[in-house]
Amino acid sequence: MTQALTPTETMILNMGPQHPSTHGVLRLQLTLDGEVVLDCKPVIGYLHRGVEKIGEARTYPQILPYTDRLDYLSSASNNLAYVQAVEKLMGVEVPERAKYLRVILLELNRIASHLMFVATFANDLAATTVFLYGLREREPIMDMFEMWTGARLTQSAMRVGGLGWDIPDGFVAKAREYCVFLPPRLDEYDRLLSGNRIFRVRTEGIGILPPEEAIDCGCSGPTLRGSGVKYDLRRDEPYEVYDQLDYDVITASTCDCMGRYVVRMAEMRQSLRIIEQCLDRLPEGDVIAKVPRAIRPQAGEAYGRVESPRGDFGCWVVSDGGPQPARVRFRAPSFYNLAALPRMLRGWKIGDVVAILGSIDIVLGEVDR
C-alpha cells in the first residue's frame, strides 16, 4: 500500500547522438517513467549539408554525385529520382537497354540495402552472427558495382538519358551466379532469426503502427507495407520497365517489427526474380540517348518518384531555363518514417527502442540532407 503512494518522477534520457544503434548521428530525447517510454522526440540535423541550397548553384550534371550521398545505401534510387525529373523536363526518351540495366542496378541495390538492414537489425538485437553473414553476402554485390561503375557505394551510374556505362564482360554471368547463390543463404537467415525464440520475443507484437496511422504520417516502403498497406511505386506508378515484369508486392498484416522484417526478407527474393527476368530479356543497343552536352531544360517543373529500399523517394526539380535549377527538392522516405517513430515507441519499454528504431531502417544521410 505504501508503494502505491510513492511518488514517481519522469526522467529525460538522451539516446545519441553518438550511440551505436542509431545508425548515424541521431538523438532521441526519451521521456521515461521507470522503464516505460512515455514520449520520444527525435532530434535531427546533425548531418545537414544543405544539399538543396548547393543544388541551386550547380549545373544539372554536377548535382548527380550529391544525390548519391543522401541515402548512401541505395544511391541508384536517389540518382534515378533526380535524373527522372530532369528527363521529364527535357522530354528525353531513354533507350530500352538502359531501362533494363537501370532496373538491374536498382534491384541489386535494394538487395544490398536490405542485407544491410538484416545485418544491423540482427546486431541491434544481439545476433552478431547474422551481422557478419549479411555483410558477407552483400560483398559480391559491392564487387559487381565496382566492376560496372568503378564505385561500391556512390555509383553515380545514372545519367540524364540513360546510364554512364554499359555492363562489362562477365557481368551477366556474375549476376546469374548471385541469383542462385543468395536464396539458400536467405533460408539460413530465416532459420537463424525467424526460428529464434529470442528474436521473436523481441520483435513480435512490438512497435505497432496501424495502417491508417502509417498512411496519415506519410510512411512508405517496408515501413508502410509492414503495416499491411499494399503500396509500392514500382507497381502503382511504374517507371522504367517495372510494368512489364512479374513480381509480387509484399505486405505483412502484423504491423510490428517482425512484419517490417518479414517484408524486407521477402522483397529480396522478389528482387532476384526481377533481376533474372531483366537478364533474360536484356535487349541490345545503346545505354544512353542523344542528349545535348550542356543540359538546359526548358522552364517548368517535374517530379521524379522512385521506390527506394526505404520507400517513396521523390525529387522535385524546377527549371527557369538556365544551366542551374531554380530549385531542387529531395523528399526522403526516412524523414517521414522517422517522424512516425514516437507513435511506435510510446508505451513500450526502453529495451524495445533499439528494436523499433532498427525496424524502420533509417539512413540519416537522407533525413538530414
Partner 1 sequence: MLEKLKSQFGDAIESAEQIGRELRVQIAARSLVGAARLAKDEGFAYLADITAMDTNEALRVVYRLASLSTGHHLVASILVPRSGARLPSLTPVFRGAEWPEREVYDMFGIRFDGHPHMQRILLTDDWEGYPLLKTWQAR
C-alpha–C-alpha distance, residues 101 and 107, integer Å = 10
Nearer to partner 1, 72 or 303 (CB): 303
Name the residue nearer to partner 1 (CB basis): 84 or 149: 84
Q: For partner 1, which is the closer residue by CB, 56 or 276?
A: 56
Return the amino acid letter for 342: P
Question: What's the min distance (Å) between Cβ of 43 and partner 1?
Answer: 9
* CA gap 222, 214 in Å, rounded: 11
Give me the amino acid identity at 249.
V
What does the alpha-carbon distance between residue 256 and residue 127 come to, in Å, rounded to a whole number?
19
Shortest reach from residue 34's CB to partner 1, in Å: 26
DSSP states of 56-72 as a string?
TTS-HHHHHHHHHTTST
* Burial of residue 216 (number of CB atoms within 10 Å: 0-12, 13-18, 19+): exposed
C-beta of 273: minimal distance to partner 1 in Å? 23
Angle between helices 96-124 and 171-192 (to 10 degrees): 30
Closer residue to partner 1 (CB): 159 or 234 = 234
* DSSP E strand boundaries for the chain: 11-15, 27-33, 36-43, 158-159, 162-163, 300-308, 311-319, 327-331
Q: Which is nearer to partner 1, 163 or 340 (CB)?
A: 340
| Minimum gap (Å) between residue 207 Cβ and partner 1 | 17
Judged by beta carbon, residue 219 or residue 263, the one nearer partner 1 is 219
Q: How far is the CB of 312 from partner 1 (least distance, A)?
A: 7
Min dist. Cβ of residue 308 to partner 1 (A): 14
Find all residues with CB under 8 Å of 62, minimum gap 6, and list them.
Answer: none
Separation between Cα atoms, residue 21 and residue 98, nearest integer Å: 38
What does the binding site for partner 1 look like in residue numbers (CB under 8 A)? Answer: 44-45, 48, 50, 52-53, 56, 213, 215-219, 229, 231, 236-237, 303, 305, 312, 314, 316, 318, 326-327, 329, 331, 335-336, 339-340, 368-369
Q: How far is the CB of 292 from partner 1 (least distance, A)?
A: 23
CA angle 189–194–195, rounded 5-degree value: 95
Which of 62, 196 has the CB closer to partner 1? 62
